[in-house]
Structure 1
Amino acid sequence: MEVRQKRPGNKQRVVVVAMDDSKLSEESYTWYLNHLGREDDRVILIHCPEDGAILQSPIIFSGSNTADGITDDDRTHFRALMHMAKEKAKPHGIVDKVRSLSGNPAEMVIQAAKEENAAMIVVGSSGIGALRRTLLGCVSDYVLHHSPVPVILCRHKDPQHH
């Protein structure tokens, strides 16, 4: 595992990483850390619970209190995501923040990238076929076509995944 040093004279780079509870999201985040991450990066993990609940961690993301109506499962998944992100980023010296937003995940990733003045977005791509993507929609496809900044698409390591 290589930790890239700060580049003199460069301002802190903001990187948005789209996250859900999938193994693919975790692999995408790990790929970014191992291949592109710099110790002065500010990483914003974007999480959109499927039920639309809004979660905000006062530990990693300062903001309003946690919204009412959040299930114990939502809290458990969000805590697990925060813990994973913190542990993976620690050896890299990368600053992490987790934002959990309510809405269409693809649109929320784009919105967060704009709000955070991101330099790039990292998102996983499941490699679903064109027909399924057309019928079901695809977060990575939407992000790729609507992002105001470069997008890094990470494919699943296991070709039998989908």
Structure 2
Amino acid sequence: MYNKFKGAEMATAAKRILVLGTDGGLQSNYALEYMTKHVYREGDYVYVVYCPKLRMQQRGCSDLANIDKEKASKIMTEEKNMLDTEVRLLQDNLDELKIKGEIIIGNPDKRPAEALLETAKAKKAVMIIIGSRGVGKVQREITGSTSDDIILNAHVPVLVCKA
């Protein structure tokens, strides 16, 4: 005979896949802390999707035509070193907090929301956790909000942590 309580215990012990979005900012750090205290439990696996703002990306295509190769190469090397350092720090944070997971660097050619949503779908995540800067109404109307974009398009629950 099936024991419904035994089945419930097994369901709660099952491994959950979580996706945490980060850009290395304070809001992202708060989201990690909140997830650790209130969401993460033993057996979970966390994909940390790191979506940094790169200087070359912020320059835009029109500026890239005017930059000399040596300067561009120097900037790219600096950005690679910065990415390596950030990824190491993120992994150290996961290790220190005893969180099982891995770091994924978001494609810089995609919006952060797109990278998080694609990762959540591909990895079969049960939740997406993100921080929020709380941009003003005017800025949100002009540039949009990553958290709004994720909430509107996610196929799983989204936890937005406001610092």
TM-score range, shorter chain: 0.7 to 0.9
User: Residue 57 of structure 1 corresponds to which residue in structure 2?
Assistant: none
Select 1:84's aligned residue among 73, 80, 93: 93
**2:46 is the counterpart of 1:37:** no
Select 1:148's aligned residue among 110, 130, 155: 155
**2:100 is the counterpart of 1:95:** yes
What CA distance in whole angstroms lies between the structure 2 residues aligned with 1:74 and 1:109? 18
Task: Extract structure 1 runs of 4+ deviating beyond 6 A.
Answer: none
- Look up the SS of the partner of 2:149 in the other structure: helix
Which protein, 1 or 2, shows the higher relative CO under an 8 Å CA cutoff with sep ≥ 6?
2
What CA distance in whole angstroms lies between the structure 2 residues aligned with 1:140 and 1:99? 19
Could you tell me the percent identity over the aligned residues?
28
Answer whether contact 1:52 1:101 (CA < 8 A) is retained: no
Select 1:119's aligned residue among 126, 129, 134: 126
Cα pair distance change 1:74/1:16, threshold 3 Å: same
User: Residue 24 of structure 2 corresponds to which residue in structure 1?
Assistant: 21
Normalization by structure 1: what TM-score? Answer: 0.74
**2:9 is the counterpart of 1:8:** yes
What CA distance in whole angstroms lies between the structure 2 residues aligned with 1:144 and 1:129? 17
- Look up the SS of the partner of 1:152 in the other structure: strand
Structure number with greater Rg is 2
Give per-residue Cα distances to partners, 1:56-93, cap 9 Å, x unaligned. xxxxxxxxxxxx966212211221122122212x1xxx
Select 2:137's aligned residue among 93, 107, 130: 130
Gapped regions of structure 2 (runs ≥ 5) = 1-7, 57-75
What CA distance in whole angstroms lies between the structure 2 residues aligned with 1:84 and 1:135? 34
- Look up the SS of the partner of 1:118 in the other structure: coil
Q: Which amino acid aligns with 1:127?
A: G
Q: What RMSD in Å do the two structures reach over aligned CA positions? A: 2.1
Answer whether contact 1:28 1:122 (CA < 8 A) is retained: yes
Which has more helix, going by share of residues? 2
Give per-residue Cα distances to partners, 1:98-147, cap 9 Å, x unaligned. 11121211100000000000001001111122211121222111111110
Normalization by structure 2: what TM-score? Answer: 0.74
Answer whether contact 1:106 1:139 (CA < 8 A) is retained: yes
